[in-house]
Chain A
């Protein structure tokens, strides 16, 4: 099964992501986003961060969670390679993230993701799989 694919979007960048469960969908979305930013196979899982987050609905939760990961990446210089979701429902996520802190002056990233947008973000069930598009501002 495909986990995610990069999408054509003229100005920005997007992914289509799939998952059998919400946990899978969220994990695949985060993996797709970090694969665009860097080669995550080279990221070492040396630091662990626990995170809890709430939002208004399932779409909002996905956007807010990815935005939170992006905040850690852009401000705290964290790259993540493992996403372990301990508990999740439509409005709340509890997870443990593994990755490493990088020195931006020497570590070259492939792309900058400025933000996660709501544009076309709508989690649907299709043929037994959850799926959505996510468009990033890059």
Chain B
């Protein structure tokens, strides 16, 4: 429960003034409606927004999106940018354990009526073909030499193996690989944890979901995406698996030890950090990029498995089924970007932990086809409600370092969800809504129950009305495979 100062700026923004806690260098700014802020205040997330405001080199604000919830170190749904030329820091705890956890959205030329009678078959087939669950291991096993190539090339490794097309690469954030990945900054243990996990979904909130478009808000943008009402899309949510967890763990540990070397003190050890330009900062950044590339390759391999599954089910090639990639976005990552701060363009390290990049129209970092309307943003809801496709805006560039929310955000702990949810009843309710769900993990369905999440519509309302992203369309779930 947060009881510190909180001022209302306007209908969708709140401020934690920088004089409210010793050491805060900037204000905290939270994007939320009157209703959502009440929920947000109920745990420690806002205290974490204030803690992040103490990080050396932080500029403008310590930001939080409407789906913010209590994390470790930095809250999930947090955004922070540090000026790298003024000893701005990079904090592994500001990125998260699942480095480059993210989403991709694939379209098809199928419509809801085409799969009406196949929903169970599709769900079973996905369950059988996609390795999911705790510590799941995949069919794509690689040698250490090959693994290094994945870390350097990201999704382009999949391209070289025939698991991707050039168009897939072009429709992925960073074209599926960040420059400057340093495989030598990765420990043997991380290699060990990552070896058997390429092309695996993982557990918990990771999923593959077959959806249908229910609402179109922006016709022009939807046309550019080639989406219309009742059309089938497929959403994939996964990250860097054990590989990324190990890197985050090791560097958050080593950065606790080097804090004194740089004269940094942090209010929470999980915010341990080092100047971006220091040797320790650069090593972590090089390792983080390896994990980011690993994750892009992973989601590409997962999409490849989904395409194979659909080919078999519909006895058609995936090209015939129109299964092309709309976009792939990261929502746990740090990026070195140029942003305007106080009228001056500076180079910052933008931490997005449970936040999505939302670059506006004209940005050179987004594919040509999307330049006019802004970067696609993929926002998943929960298994019973909707997901969204949004686009980035100029206002996001001006206010939030080109960032927006990443999902619904949890409102119940996993233990509370298990205690409250009747799994059989939930399954029945979902079935009545026409949703088929399968999960690899025993407790997953209860833990991931819709009641455990905030209403994604309310979260998206805030980012849309605040102007930091724009709604394009909404999708409802039909077939859900959970980890």
Contact = CB atoms under 8 A, between A and B. Distances in A.
Interface in B76-104: 76, 96-98
Contacts of A104: 134-137
A115 B268 contact: no
Interface stretch (A45-53, A82-90, A93-101, A106-114): A106-114
Given A8-B413, A10-B413, A115 B70 contact: no
A2 B433 CA distance: 44
A138 interface: yes
Given A104-B135, A110-B443, A6 B252 contact: no
B245 interface: yes
B443 A111 contact: yes
A60 B70 CA distance: 22
B416 interface: yes
B411 A10 contact: yes
A115 B441 contact: no
B76 to A, nearest CB: 5
Interface string A101-138: 00011001111101111110100000000000001011
Interface size class of A (residues with CB under 8 A): 35 or more
Contacts, number: 105
Contacts of B256: 60, 118
Contacts of B35: none
Given A108-B442, A118-B252, A75 B193 contact: yes
B72 A119 contact: yes
Interface in A9-48: 9-13, 37
A114 B97 contact: yes
B72 A137 contact: yes
A67 B413 CA distance: 22
A119 to B, nearest CB: 3
Contact of A109 (B135, B242, B252, B269): B135
A11 B71 contact: yes
A108 B440 CA distance: 9
Nearest to B70: A10
Given A64-B253, A117-B72, A112 B204 contact: yes
Interface of A: 6-13, 37, 56, 60, 63-64, 67, 71, 74-75, 77, 104-105, 108-112, 114-119, 121, 135, 137-138
Sort A-B residue pairs by CB-CB distance and give the 3 closest, nearest first. Answer: A119-B72, A118-B269, A112-B134
18 contacts: A6-B415, A8-B413, A10-B69, A11-B76, A12-B71, A56-B257, A71-B189, A104-B135, A109-B134, A110-B134, A112-B204, A115-B97, A118-B270, A119-B71, A119-B268, A121-B269, A137-B72, A137-B245
